[in-house]
Structure 1
Amino acid sequence: MARFACPSCGYVYDEDRGDPREGWPAGTPFSEVDPDWPCPDCGVREQQDFEPA
Structure 2
Amino acid sequence: MSKWECTICGYIYDPELGEEGVAEPGTSFADLPEDYLCPECGVGKEYFEELA
TM-score, with length taken from structure 1: 0.83
Report the alpha carbon displacement of residue 22 of structure 1 after superposing the two structures with TM. Answer: 3.4
- Residue ranges of structure 1 left out of the alignment (5+ in a row): none
Q: How far apart, CA to CA, are the structure 2 residues paired with 1:6 and 1:35?
A: 15
Secondary structure at the aligned position of 1:22 is classed as: coil
CA RMSD of aligned residues (A): 1.1
Query: How does 1:1-53 map onto structure 2 within 5 Å?
Result: 1-19=1-19, 21-43=20-42, 45-53=43-51
Q: How far apart in 1 are the matches of 2:45 and 2:39?
A: 10
Deviations 1:8-41 (A, max 9, x none): 000000111111x232010001111012211000
Alignment size in residue pairs: 51
| CA distance in structure 2 between the aligned counterparts of 1:2 and 1:18, rounded to whole angstroms | 12
CA separation in 2, counterparts of 1:35 and 1:47?
7
Higher relative helix content: 1
